[in-house]
Amino acid sequence: MTSKNELSLVNAIKASRRQFMIGTGVALATTALYRPAIANGGEVTIISDIGNAGQRAVLDSIAADFTKKTGTKVTINNMDHEAHKTAIRSYLVVGAPDVCFWFSGNRMKAFVDRGLFDDISDLFAKEGYSDKLGATMTAVTVNGKQYGLPLGGILWGLFYRKDVFADKGWTAPKNWDDFLKFGEAAKSAGMTPISMGTKELWPTGGWFDHMNLRINGLEKHLALMEGKIPYTDPTLKPVFDKWEELIKANFFSASAPSFGWEQAGAALAQKKAAMMDLGGFIKSAFPASEEGQIAFAPFPEIVPGVERYEDFSVNSVHIPAKAKNRQGARDFLAHFYQPDNLGAFLEAEGTIPPRNDCPPSKDPLVNIAVESLKGVKGTSQYYDRDTDPDMAQDGVKGFQEFMVKPERRDQILARLEKTRARIFK
Amino acid sequence: MWKKHRNWLTPVLFIVPGCILFGTIIIASSVESIWISFLDWDGVGQKSWVGLANYSELFADPQFYVSLKNNIIWLVMFMAAPPLGLALALLVNQQIAGMRILKSLFFIPLVLATVTVGVVFGWVYDPNYGLLALIFGLFGATAPALLADEHFVTFAVVAAALWPQIAFCMVLFLAGLNNLSSDIIGAGRVDGARGWNMLWHVVLPQLRQVGFIALAVTVVGALRSFDMIAVMTSGGPFGSSEVLAYQMYEQSIFSYRFGYGAAIATVLFAIMIVFITWYLRVMVRMERETR
């Protein structure tokens, strides 16, 4: 499943991260003027999995604008986000649209390996994207070829309410001792220190990522994701020891498996919980009038000296290999990917633009994330995007069990190791 | 030509579309599922023959036994639906003012999609603000987080699923009660049967066929249970509320293991076959008796 290529991606991310971060969010005058391809009529079909109504409206207007310029009709079929995750596997094989949304990294690679996504390196060359994209380009690159256009990035970390922290006189914990003290303070204030809903399983994966990145660093974390380190490896022991310490100290929401991340986010908004580990989309759990209260802090340091690595996941847009109108799809993507259009599209979602020439965001959360990324040494995507989907499914399930029954750690890890051995032969 | 063969052509023409549908959608896909269960396949890529490896892995998988146990819990608890449905039917079948409203109150869960029932019960069980928490709160107690507890979760989900199932059985029995032979009931009355005796010796024997259908539908409903689990728990916490049907879905869709999922489906099919064989035998016997 894995290759040397992916490690080289990591190195590339590390190398170009700095340039990317400096460029991102900074407004530059658009130099590349878009020229529509020969207006040839025809039709481009898109399957969209966007749940956000505002963002769908932006996509609609970009599509209408494209039709006006080129005469190409654009049909957008909207799907439920979760349902799309299962539907994509059948429609890529039979009845592919011309453009579809998906996730980069290993999630994309799974389809690239099976020849289901079109190689769009030609579009990259023609539009000169490599100069504009920086590090996120590696997230859509396999064996030196590009298979998608990166969309918004999500920086993961701890979110909290400014008013609550000001009221209690708290500051965001910087290191492990701070974090433990903060938890005690939150508990004595009658709040859950960390809001957590694990019904959808994946939030546990994010927590594991943070702990492992802070303790073992990026390289070892990615080696684990690629199946090169066993789950029973002694380097993981401190990760679960520390995690268990938090669980036993009642840091996390009680009965977390019975509700999802949205309810957990609501608990933060309602001041029942003090912090929550998520991406900027946490704002959807807040009433619009209180979005200004949301603040971000990086996950605290655990082992001094380990550099700051973060989960930074990137969504992307692709052309299926079996698309009927592959040229039309390229023309549409070139139009869609213009800095102004892309900027408007991502602004509605609140994610970080991959292009360094998008207009600056008006969303304070995005700007905070952009600022925070400057101090980041390297990034992983997210547990369920970095590792094999089969492994991820068993992994997040195991972490959920660990959070409820930490005493079963050895059984759980032995089970995960069995899965790893089966998948990464 | 048509006139000559009409006698056998007409039934054939009616049966053919059904046979084609049944053949392709049920038979062919079942056979294909069994075939896939011998393969290692992720759903889109290369298939490779692995023989019985999926089965030997399945029988060594602790999750399989959790799912199987839950299937049995579903089956046993669902057996409460026919008698409770009958009791309700007898209750609402009386000529009392306002009974229609009562009837429709019991009937309502059948109108709702099971997914809706699942979502609503998910709220009822919520340990923070659900109805259950309110009730416990009245007595100064804290409600258990039913859906987060590996020992309670299946019972909680089945309890929610029973609600529409009981209503369904009630409707079946109501229809049966409407078809009671008034001659036999009158004869029973002449012989002095009333109350319990009337029910046991006169009414129930006439409901035997309906009761059998209610039982069959309930067994099938229990074995194919899936949607309530998907909505209420997603199989969680950590797989403790999964049944075979959900485990098959999870393995095929989320873990990209169609071969393994097909093996689970085949095992579920084998369990169903036992029941179907019994069902067909009883049906045939009943047909003979009534003839």
This model of the complex carries an ipTM of 0.81
- Whichever domain contains A52, its CATH number is 3.40.190.10
* Torsion sign over Cα A216, A218, A220, A225: positive
CB pair distance less than 8 Å for A257 and B43? no
Is B239 within 8 Å of chain A by CB? yes
The per-residue pLDDT for A21 is 40
Chain B CB contacts of A404 below 8 Å: 148, 150, 237-238
**β-strand partners of A169:** none
Same domain, A172 and A321: no
- Which homologous superfamily does the CATH classification assign to the domain defined by B60-290? MetI-like (1.10.3720.10)
Assess whether A254 and A389 both reside in one domain.
yes
Which B residues, 22 through 61, put their C-beta within 8 Å of a C-beta on chain A?
43-45
Coil vs helix vs strand at A129: helix
Q: Does A242 map to a domain?
A: yes
Radius of gyration for the alpha carbons in chain B, expressed in angstroms and rounded: 24
The two three-digit tokens of residue B231, written as one number: 């909505």
| 8 Å CB contact of A86 and B253 | yes
Q: What is the mean pLDDT of residues B36-47?
A: 88
What integer pLDDT is reported at residue A276 of this predicted model? Answer: 96
B98: left (phi over 0), alpha (psi -120 to 50) or beta: left
DSSP tag of B145:
-
- Whether residue A224 sits in one domain with residue A331: no
HSE, CB side, 13 Å, CA atoms: give it for residue A110.
21
Mean pLDDT of chain B: 90
Position A18 scores a pLDDT of: 38
Name chain A contacts of B258, Cβ cutoff 8 Å: none
Tell me the chain A residues in contact with residue B126 when contact means C-beta distances shorter than 8 Å.
258-259
A339 neighbors A357 (Cβ within 8 angstroms) = yes
Is residue A226 located within the same domain as residue A337? no
Q: Is residue A348 located within the same domain as residue A295?
A: no
What single DSSP character describes residue B148?
Answer: G
Whose tokens are 């400057």? That residue is A374
Same-domain check for residues A132 and A168: no
Total of domains in chain A = 2
A230 contact partners, CB below 8 Å, separation of at least 6: A417, A420, A421
pLDDT for position A105: 83
Q: Does A264 touch chain B (CB under 8 A)?
A: no
- A241, A386: one domain: yes
Kindly state whether residues A68 and A205 are assigned to the same domain: no
Q: Are A352 and A366 in contact (CB under 8 A)?
A: yes
**What does the pLDDT profile of chain A (425 residues) look like in tens digits?**
334 444 333 444 444 443 444 344 333 333 334 444 444 558 999 999 988 888 899 999 999 999 999 999 999 999 988 789 878 988 998 889 999 999 988 888 888 988 999 999 999 999 999 888 877 788 888 899 999 999 988 999 999 999 999 999 999 999 999 999 999 999 999 999 999 999 889 999 999 999 999 999 999 999 999 899 999 999 999 999 999 999 999 999 988 888 889 889 999 999 999 999 999 888 888 888 998 899 999 999 999 999 999 999 989 999 999 999 999 999 999 999 999 999 999 988 888 888 888 888 888 888 888 888 888 888 888 998 889 888 999 999 999 999 999 999 999 999 999 999 998 88
A404 interface with B at CB cutoff 8 Å: yes
Is the pLDDT score of B120 beyond 80?
yes
Are A258 and B126 within 8 A, CB to CB? yes
Cα angle B40, B44, B45 (rounded to 5 degrees) comes to 60
How many CA atoms lie within 13 Å of B136's alpha carbon, on the beta-carbon side?
16
Q: Which of A114, A198, A390 sits opposite B44 (nearest CB)?
A: A114
Asked if B255 lies within 8 A of A116 by C-beta distance, the reply is no
Together in a domain, A88 and A143: yes
What's the pLDDT score for residue A13?
42
Confidence of residue B142 (pLDDT cuts 50, 70, 90): confident
Shortest Cα distance from A157 to chain B (angstroms)?
A: 25
| Per-residue pLDDT, A200 | 86
- pLDDT over 70 at B9, yes or no: yes
**CB interface of A with B, residues 383-402, below 8 Å:** 389-390, 393-394, 397-398, 400-401
Claim to verify: residue A196 and residue A80 sit in the same structural domain: no
**Is B147 an interface residue toward A (CB < 8 Å)?**
yes
- Chain A residues with CB under 8 Å of B253 CB are 86
The pLDDT, as a whole number, for residue A41 is 58
Q: Does A401 contact B257 at a Cβ distance shorter than 8 Å?
A: no
What is the Cα–Cα distance from B68 to B74, expressed in whole angstroms? Answer: 10
Residue A276, chain B, CB below 8 Å: the answer is: no
First to last CA, chain B: 35
Distance CA A183, CA A191 (A): 9
Contacts of residues B174-178 at CB distance under 8 Å and 24 or more positions apart, as own/partner, are B174/B89, B174/B92, B174/B93, B174/B103, B175/B210, B176/B89, B176/B206, B176/B207, B176/B209, B176/B210, B176/B211, B177/B89, B177/B90, B177/B93, B177/B203, B177/B207
* Cross-chain Cβ contact A257/B256 below 8 Å: no
Measured in degrees and rounded to the nearest 5, phi and psi for residue A34 equal -80, 130
Contact A258 B125 (CB under 8 A): yes
Q: Where are the beta strands (DSSP E) in A257-398?
A: 273-278, 294-297, 309-318, 378-380
Q: What are the residue ranges of helices labelled H in A270-325?
A: none
- CB-based contacts of A68, cutoff 8 Å, min separation 6: none
Separation in Å, CA A412 to CA A409, B4, B248: 5, 72, 21
In a domain, A27, yes or no: no
Residue-range domain boundaries for chain B: 60-290
Instruction: Return the structure tokens found at A95.
Output: 């009845």
Whether the predicted pLDDT of B99 surpasses 80: yes
Kindly state whether residue A19 falls inside one of the protein's structural domains: no
Shared-domain flag, residues A278 and A134: no
> Residue A212, by phi and psi: left (phi above 0), alpha (psi -120 to 50) or beta?
alpha
Residue of B nearest to A197 (CA): B148
Give CA–CA dist B224/A401, Å, rounded.
26
Q: Which two tokens stand for residue B89?
A: 């039917």
Cross-strand bridge partners of residue A44: A74
Name the minimum distance, in Å, from the CA of B72 to any CA of chain A: 23
Taking one residue from A and the other from B, the number of pairs with CB-CB distance under 8 angstroms is: 67
A12 in a structural domain: no
Tokens of A239: 């990760």
Domain, as residue range, for A93: 41-151+313-362
Residue A367 · residue A81 · CB < 8 Å? no
Which residues in A lie closer than 8 A to residue B62 (C-beta atoms)? 415
Q: Which helix (H) or strand (E) holds B49?
A: strand B48-49
* Beta-carbon contacts of residue B201 (< 8 Å; ≥ 6 apart): B188, B193
Check CB contact of B145 with chain A, cutoff 8 Å.
yes
- Give yes or no: residues A194 and A83 share one domain: no
- Measure in Å the smallest separation between the Cα of B134 and chain A Cα atoms: 17
